[in-house]
Structure 1
Amino acid sequence: MALPPKPWPTGMAEQCEPLVRRVLAPNPSPYTYTGTQTYIVGNAGDVALIDPGPADEAHINAILAAIGDAKVVAIMCTHTHRDHSPAAAPLSERTGAPVVGCAPLVIESDLPRSDEAFDTTYAPDRVLEDGEAMTGTGWTLRALHTPGHTSNHLCFALEESGALFTGDHVMGWSTSVVIPPDGDMGDYMKSLDKLQARNDRVYYSAHGEPIEKPRQLVRGMMGHRRQRENQILRLLGARARTTPEFIPEMYKGLDERLVKAAQMSVTAHLLDLEKRGMVSSTSEGIWALA
C-alpha cells in the first residue's frame, strides 16, 4: 500500500476514542508504514501503554508529554520486534511502571528478513498468559495469545469498549509477514480463526489506520492465505520445484526488492503443508506433492 501524503502526525497524541490515544513514532520504513503507533489506554488518573515502540528519545518524550500527570501502571508489549518493545525499558525507568505482556524472544539468524529483527533488551517484569488481564481506573486489558507472526505475539482486548489492539498480527496497511523459523503459518491461521470467532468492534494495530470492519478483514486475510496455499499445490501438481521457482508464477511483476520476502512467505506455507503431510522436500531443497 502506498504511504499517505505528509504531514503525518508523528509525535502527536491523537484521540481514537474516549479511553484510547495514540502517538506515532518517527520510524517509517517498508516494514513499519508511517511508523509504530504507541497506544495510551485510560484517562482517569492511571494509564497503560501498549507497544512503546523504538528507543527513540523524541518518541519517548512525546509519550511522556501525552501522559502528563497520569500514573503509568503497565507498559505492555505485543511482541519483541525492535520497532515495538525497545522503549519499554527507558519508559519503565522514568515512570516506575512494570513491563508486562509477551514473553521474551530473540531469534538469531543470518537469513534475510522482511520485517524488523528482535529486541535483545526486552526483559518483562511479568508475562501475561492467555486470558490474563491488567486493570486500571475504568479499563481492563485482557491478553489473547496470537502466535504466528512471532511465537510470543499477544493481542490485548479493551473490554470496556470492544477494541482490540492487534500489534502486527492484523495490521491496518498490509498483511502480516510470517517468517520461519519462529513465524509459523499454521499457528498464524489458527490465531486468525481465534479472532474471527470474536466480536470486537474495532482493531487498533501498531501500523496503519483503525480497522472498522475487523471480521470482514480477517475473513479476507484467511482467504488470501488459502489462495496462496492452493497456488503452491497447483504448481507442485505440475512439477517439483525449489522455493525460488514458485515466485515468478505466484507473484507476477514483483518488485525485485520484495523477492526475498515472497520466498520467505512461500517457505512458511510449504513448512505448514509439510507438517500436514501434503508436501515433502529433499535435502537439496526440492519440494513435491507428498
Structure 2
Amino acid sequence: MTAEHPPRPYGTSERLEPLVRRVLARNPSPFTYTGTQSYVVGAGDAVAVIDPGPLEEEHLDALVEAVGDARIAAICCTHTHRDHSPAAAPLAERTGAPIVGCAPLALSDEGPRLDASFDDAYRPDRVLGHGESVEGPDWTLTAVATPGHTSNHLCFALEESGALFTGDHVMGWSTSVVVPPDGDMAQYMDSLKHLHDREDRVYYPAHGPAVEKPRQLVRGMIGHRRQRERQILRQLEQDRGVIEDMVPHMYKGTDERLWPAAGRSVLAHLIDLERRGEVARSGNVWTLTT
C-alpha cells in the first residue's frame, strides 16, 4: 500500500469501545487495504472472535494473546473468502472454541469464477440463520443476512452497543466486489437497502476504518451502484458491448490491477440488467434491448 496510510499496528490489540477490540492481520493488498481486521468481542471471561482472518501464524498468535485468559465462546465468520475464514480451524484447534456463523459456500459450476479466493476447508460447528444469535456473559451477536458480495455473507450486530460488524459487505475505503455467479448484484442492492433501514450506531468492517455515519455511507453506496448501472447503459449506447472495452472508460484513475475485479462487478450489473429485460447478450457481447 502507499505511504499515505498511517502506521499499521499489526499483531496489536486495539480497544475500539468497551466490548470491542481489533487485531490487524499483515495481509495488505489492493483488495484488503491495510489487511484483514479481526475483532474480539466481550470484556468478561468469554469472548467471540469475528473473522479470524488468513492462515498466518503471526496473526493467530496475536489473536490468542488478545483473548488472554478468556474463553472463546464462538469463532464467527462473515463469509468464506481466504482473507476471512482460514484461521478459524487452527484457532479452534488451539482453543477448543466452536466455529459459528456463515454457511459453507456451495460453489456453483455455472461459468468462470475465482475459486482460489474461497476457503473450501471451512467447516462450521453451527450455521447462523438471519436473526439467530450467539451469546456471552456481556455480549450478544445477532446474524444479519447480507448476501450479494457472496451468497453466504453475514453481518453481526452487537446488541449491547449498536455496532455492526459488516465484513466485506460495507467498507468505508472501497466498494465491495460482486463476482458472479456466486456474487449477485440484485441481492447486494437488497442487502444494502436492508442495512439502510436499520439503526446501527457504527460499522466495523473487515478492512478499513470504522464507519461513524452508517446510513449516510450506505445511501451513498446505493447511489454509486445506480450510477454505475447508468454508466454501463451509456457504454452500450456508444456500442461498447464488451466488458473489457467498458472498464477503462468507467474506471479511469483506478489502479489497473483492480480492473479485472471491476470487470466482474460490471458483469454482475449486466446480469441484473439482463434479468430485468434491459440488455441482452450474444457470447461476450452485450446490447441494449430497446
Match of 2:172 in 1: 172
Match of 1:72 in 2: 72
In 2, the alpha carbon distance for the partners of 1:256 and 1:153 equals: 27
> Post-superposition, which runs of at least 4 consecutive aligned residues in structure 1 deviate over 4 A?
1-4, 108-113
1:10/1:26 contact within 8 Å kept:
yes
Superposed CA RMSD in Å reads 1.9
- After superposition, residues 123-134 of structure 1 pair within 5 angstroms as 123-134=123-134
Q: CA deviation at 1:273?
A: 0.5
Cα distance per residue 1:90-118 (max 9 Å; x no partner): 111111111010001164889575x9700
Q: Within the alignment, does 1:18 sit opposite 2:18 as a pair? A: yes
Cα 1:69–1:248 change in 2 (3 A) is closer
Percent of residue pairs identical = 64
Q: CA deviation at 1:205?
A: 0.4
2:177/2:262 contact within 8 Å kept:
no
Q: What's the secondary structure of 1:241's corresponding residue?
A: coil
Q: What letter corresponds to residue 224 of structure 2 in structure 1?
A: H
Gaps of 5+ in 1: none
Q: CA deviation at 1:55?
A: 1.5
2:171/2:205 contact within 8 Å kept:
yes
Q: What's the secondary structure of 1:164's corresponding residue?
A: strand
2:149/2:176 contact within 8 Å kept:
yes
In 1, the alpha carbon distance for the partners of 2:196 and 2:127 equals: 25
Q: What letter corresponds to residue 207 of structure 2 in structure 1?
A: H
Q: CA deviation at 1:235?
A: 2.6
Match of 2:284 in 1: 285
Match of 1:244 in 2: 244
Q: What letter corresponds to residue 59 of structure 2 in structure 1?
A: H
In 2, the alpha carbon distance for the partners of 1:168 and 1:3 equals: 23
- After superposition, residues 52-71 of structure 1 pair within 5 angstroms as 52-71=52-71
Q: Within the alignment, does 1:228 sit opposite 2:235 as a pair? A: no
Moved more, 249-258 or 173-182: 249-258
Q: What letter corresponds to residue 8 of structure 1 in structure 2?
A: R
Q: What letter corresponds to residue 260 of structure 1 in structure 2?
A: P
Cα distance per residue 1:15-70 (max 9 Å; x no partner): 00000001001111111111111100001111001000012111111111111110
In 1, the alpha carbon distance for the partners of 2:253 and 2:43 equals: 48
In 1, the alpha carbon distance for the partners of 2:36 and 2:18 equals: 21
Cα 1:276–1:3 change in 2 (3 A) is farther
- After superposition, residues 1-290 of structure 1 pair within 5 angstroms as 4-105=4-105, 107=107, 111=112, 117-239=117-239, 241-282=241-282, 284-290=283-289
2:202/2:213 contact within 8 Å kept:
yes
Cα distance per residue 1:172-219 (max 9 Å; x no partner): 321110011111111000000000000100000000110000111101
Q: What letter corresponds to residue 275 of structure 1 in structure 2?
A: R
In 1, the alpha carbon distance for the partners of 2:188 and 2:2 equals: 25
In 2, the alpha carbon distance for the partners of 1:8 and 1:256 equals: 25
In 2, the alpha carbon distance for the partners of 1:2 and 1:253 equals: 15
Cα 1:3–1:89 change in 2 (3 A) is farther
Q: What's the secondary structure of 1:142's corresponding residue?
A: strand
Cα 1:193–1:97 change in 2 (3 A) is same
Q: CA deviation at 1:80?
A: 0.2
Q: CA deviation at 1:240?
A: 6.1
Q: TM-score, normalised by structure 2?
A: 0.94
Q: What's the secondary structure of 2:266's corresponding residue?
A: helix
2:108/2:181 contact within 8 Å kept:
no
Q: TM-score, normalised by structure 1?
A: 0.94
